[in-house]
Amino acid sequence: MELQFEKSSVSCLEQIACGVQNQEQTQEIRVSEAMPDVGKVLAVWGQPILRSKEWRSNGMQVSGGVMAWVLYAPEDGSEPRKLEAWVPFQAKWDFPETDQDGVIRVCCRLRSMDARTLTARKLMLRVGIGLQAEALAPKELNLYTSDQAPEDVHLLRRTYPMELPREAGEKAFLLDEDLTMPPSLPAMAKMIYFQVQPEVVDQKVMGSKAVFRGNARVHILYQGEDGRLNTWDVEQPFSQFTELQGEYSPEASISTVLGVTSLELEPGESGALRLKCGLLAQHVVRDRTTAELVEDAYSIRRPVELHWEPLNGPMCLDRRKETIHMEQTLPAESDRLVDLAVFSEFPRQISEANGIRLEQAGTLQGLFYDQDGILKSSNARWEGSLSLPVAEDATLCAWPQEIGIPQTMGGSGGILVRDDRPVELTVTGSQPIPMVTGLELGEEQESDPDRPSLVVRRVSDSDSLWSLAKRCGSSVDAIRQANQLQGEPAQQQLLLIPVL
């Protein structure tokens, strides 16, 4: 006789690809005839711009570019000049062939930037770009369980609370604001470069809506009317919501990755600067569900053949934010730091005995005036690490988050730079859960009249009530009642086992 289990399904998302690509793009920059010859390159900055994401049947493609600025000291000793460039990039990731449409999340980082002189009228710009992307495709998890079974058939039921990625999407929006410089700062004569670092400070799911708010930190390096360089940092708050496809419980959570899709900063009205910044919020919604599965079965009166199917699901085991500490001295002949740029790579995962170590590295680039008032630059390599306890059969995904302004402190030999680099961590289980999908029941057999009615057995380290009952021809309830147990027995405990 075949005992069919009832089948149900849960819709979720499966990560079918995730990885980091590091690229190095080069481009020649020519100095216009109106500008003096290059004497020395002082500093290089950039702003990654995400242009497009494309889902294909066997892979995904991401394209964009870097807005780049180069500051150089002219050969004739006049004031520093800037050059601008656009450096395009494109990256592809392969994944197994699929006929389903999915969702792509991507994060862009500048790993490094530098420029060198080819001639007095031409520079070679080199840009290191890091791209982390994941592809999420729809998946149906099939669950099997049984509410009815013959009286002699015992089922081992287990309840698994599961946090699953249920939905992913994106929301594009535009920041269009006037920025007014505070009177406490020197007046601006000429802008050198500008960057935007967006961050989400609060996000939550409210039924069928996702709500998030954050700040876009605008960093501007400019030349004052006295010819000296100054910086201006201003935060532009934003608040957005997006309609979700499903309705979710109060326990649902959301994780958002932001990308800059366009950026302009031009003179506005009444001396203000007009900021136009396109942002893309790429989100994943996770919600909790409970699965009750049958993991084992037996009968003391008939043979039982079990039909199995592993439950493979993207179940989230842990999700939290941590920080990777960075501390490095930037060589400088002065403690007056004009501008600091931090380039960072994506964290690398190194297996350890008790988990995973995240290692992150990058470059510091500083501009300062020396004691004679001459503008100079300095660079230093920085490294940081973080050890995490992660099970051997689990998968860790780390998404770096946007940062604020690093702490700086003047000292002997240079400027000490300290910062905590935030990273969002998600640990998912990769070990399949055994699941019984049905039973093949043989003919009932008469009980042996010579069988003992009671067995005395000492519990070993690996014994559970279920394994004892199955091995001795009893039931979990009968053993509990005979020994007045509330839970599992202690190791080396003597038990009375009624034989049914």
Four-residue CA torsion sign, 455, 456, 461, 466: positive
Task: Give the pLDDT score at 473.
Answer: 87
Q: Would you say 362 and 411 are in contact if contact means Cβ atoms under 8 Å apart?
A: no
The dihedral region occupied by 271, where left means phi > 0, alpha psi between -120 and 50, and beta the remainder, is left
Q: What are the sequence ranges of the domains in the chain?
A: 9-138+164-288+315-429, 451-500
CATH of domain 451-500: 3.10.350.10
User: How many residues in total does the chain contain?
Assistant: 500
pLDDT score of 450: 66
Q: What is the pLDDT of residue 497?
A: 86
Question: Alpha-carbon distance 48 to 107, whole Å?
Answer: 10
Q: What is the pLDDT of residue 489?
A: 87
What pLDDT was estimated at residue 493?
85
Fill in the amino acid letter for 164: L
Q: Whole-prediction pTM value?
A: 0.89
Say which residues have a Cβ less than 8 Å from residue 272's Cβ, sequence separation at least 6.
178, 179, 180, 181
Which residues in the chain come in under a pLDDT of 70? 448-450
Q: What is the per-residue pLDDT across 259-311, written as a single tens digit (0 to 9) for each?
A: 999 999 998 777 789 999 999 999 999 999 998 999 999 998 899 999 999 98
* Calpha distance 366→330 (Å, rounded): 7
